[in-house]
Amino acid sequence: MMQTTRSASPTRPLVLAALLAMSVGSLLAQQAPQGQPGKQQLKQMLLPQAVVLPVGDRSIDIDGSLIDWPKLPAMLLNDPRQLSGTRHGAWYGRADASAVVFMMWGEEGLYIACTALDQWHRALDENTLLLTEIPAADSLVLSFDPERNTRSNGPDPGRRDDREFWLADEKAREVVQWDRLRGAARVLPEPARMVVLHDKEQGITTYEALIPWPEILPPGKQPQVGKCIDLQMILNDFDEITDAMPQTRIGWTFGMGPVVDPGLLGTIQLVGNDAPMRGIMPDFPPKPGATEEAAKPREYWRLLSAQFIQNPPVVYAGTLTPSETGGMKRLKALERLEQHYSRMPRVDNLEILQRVHRRMTREIAGLTARGLPFWWRERTHAISKQAEDLVPAGSLRLFRLPMGGWVVRTARRSFMIDPSGADVEQWLWGAAQMCVLTQPLAMNRRNDQLLLRMFTAEPVHPVMAHIVFHLPMIAMEKMPLVQVGESYGEKTGTTVRSIGKPRRDGSVPYDLGYRIKTIGCPDLIIVGPTTKVEDVEEKSCGVMIASSRNLGVVEIAKKLKPGIILFDDGFLPDTDAGLRRVTLHHLHQLQRALLPFKSVVLAPGESWTVERQGK
């Protein structure tokens, strides 16, 4: 599909605003789910293709003013079908978030201009510029695939030559390049330049940038007429000052169906003259075939699940080495799984979490359609079925969630600890009688859609958190908070007591440990990364969920004398550039250090039952 049916002059923003404007009511009518009677149904869009005209002898100043730009073919980000998600009233129509993008090319690089309609503009706070994290600012993100061989998110070999750039309102006016596979970023040197200006009165943001070709193309490659490059453009819109996640995203290829495929990019072609402006279009060559496997097929992951079912977890008590415990078949399955987690790009994992938190279901479906994220989703569904099995009276059954967190079931009550991941709010709602958050600010330690459902349920399902955080539709000042050292829920039969003492200045730690007691069942202790030995009551417990990042965990175990120890931080992708992943080798070393106490390493989706003490 050639996106050349509509031309616009970026020198006239008011004309552009009129071009994009549409009544909110008519737009919302078009956003109805497919199959809903009485609503207009939209056909899926075609794979976008666009031509890029040469800059020629024009002099383009990267200053935020597009007065020196000629009329060009427009690349549109303004169709409701291109929206990632619009739940909770996040999008109010094209005047709230939409854009038109223009490009030109020369020997020095690719020129990019974008005029975006945005009723509320969020610039980047200079104190929050962390080049290895996802910026919290209105932005235009450009992803280039010069070899046209990207087919998937995750560790797809086709992404090795991809380049991604972030344009946002930042005082230094520097272009940031992301290396998504390695979770790193850098500021491009000159002549790369970016200027972003916002007209508050008109509600228009202008992006202008020059990206040199050596930053886009692989070494030794040069721009030339007929060169095709695959491209994704995404406009991120932030409408909440306290929210670190975008509420609306519009993508160039997002309108191609009910699922947003992260491996499906559009294509731009460099042309030598302005013939396309007269309707003379070049042919676009097909995408080349992939030479390497983009992601393991679904059958591979189902066989891996079968290996864990056939080789269940075994208690380590020091008789064998930790790696030998459970047998070699289980060890090989664990090592294979560990390799997949270690290769999962950190930024990809964070983006899945953000899409889940903001209920961007079409992107979630695409991001979890293949590879390790597919396995996470399958294992979550399996837990939903397994959790239906009866739990013996007086016992705790703990399920390890695939993307982090726990489901705990007793004969009478079910609750969650730090639940994370796609579909949790749907498939595990029956276990959400209560939720405990040990690190409320960590996006990989919660599921906002689950919490939103709990807060708005009748009656309200309790959520235990000691720090306030942004949650859509819930006023932060009305969010109940756990007081450090206090107990809650005695009347429900399950008492939750936070571990620790308030600080002298009234502040609280980033994470918090808990002791959870259900009548007739073993005590459950959650030991966070910073739980202190002196704050733990010297009283035995049936099970300890231990953070392997806690440097005092061995001394804590000596005070608690747990019947069994489970581990909280293993089998997770990178989520923080400042922390190293907890590896399987690390867990095995910790098991040795914790002797004589018994411990079990659970793979994601596995469960362990702890019987009543003294039985």
Predicted confidence band of residue 574 (pLDDT cuts 50, 70, 90): confident
Q: Hey, is 438 helix, strand or coil?
A: coil
Beta strands in 131-227 (DSSP E): 139-145, 163-168, 176-179, 184-187, 193-199, 204-212
Residue 14 pLDDT more than 50? Answer: no
Q: Answer whether 398's CB lies under 8 Å from 406's CB.
A: yes
The amino acid sitting at 275 is A
Domain 48-273 classification at class level? mainly beta
| Per-residue tokens: 26 | 């008519």
C-alpha pair distances (Å), 313 with each of 329, 330, 404: 11, 8, 18
The contacts found for 282-290 with CB under 8 angstroms, 24 or more apart, are: 282/51, 282/226, 284/49, 284/228, 285/228, 287/148, 287/149, 287/230, 288/147, 288/148, 288/149, 290/149, 290/151, 290/158
- Return the pLDDT at 18: 38
| Whether pLDDT at 128 is above 70 | no
DSSP symbols for 537-604 = -S---SEEEE-TT-TTHHHHHHHH--SEEEESSSS-----TTSPPPPHHHHHHHHHHTTTS-EE-PPT
Among 34-43, 135-144, 171-180, 605-614, the range scoring the smallest mean pLDDT is 34-43
CATH of 298-502+509-573+581-610, one of 3.30.420.40, 3.10.105.10, 3.60.15.10, 3.10.450.350: 3.60.15.10
Considering only 406-410, 506-510, 517-521, which range has the smallest mean pLDDT?
506-510
- Whether residue 379 is predicted with pLDDT greater than 90 in this model: the reply is yes
Q: Does the structure show a pLDDT above 50 at 33? A: no
List C-alpha distances in Å: 523 to 376, 382, 517. 29, 26, 5
Question: What pLDDT was estimated at residue 608?
Answer: 98
Under a CB-based contact definition with an 8 Å cutoff, are residues 111 and 105 in contact? yes
- For 164, 166, 177, 291, 340, the CA distances from 185, given in Å and listed in that order, are 10, 10, 6, 27, 23
The answer, yes or no, to whether residue 88 has pLDDT greater than 80, is no
Q: Where are the domains of the chain?
A: 48-273, 298-502+509-573+581-610
15 pLDDT band, cuts 50/70/90, is very low
Q: What share of the chain is helix, strand, coil (3-state, %, to 5)?
A: 25, 25, 55
Question: What global pTM score does this model have?
Answer: 0.91
Mean pLDDT of the chain: 90
Question: Residue 16: pLDDT above 70?
Answer: no
Question: Can you tell me the mean pLDDT for 551-556?
Answer: 97
Percent with pLDDT over 90 in the chain: 79
pLDDT value for 30: 37
| The pLDDT value given to residue 135 | 82
Mean pLDDT of all residues in 225-235: 98
Provide the pLDDT for residue 13. Answer: 43
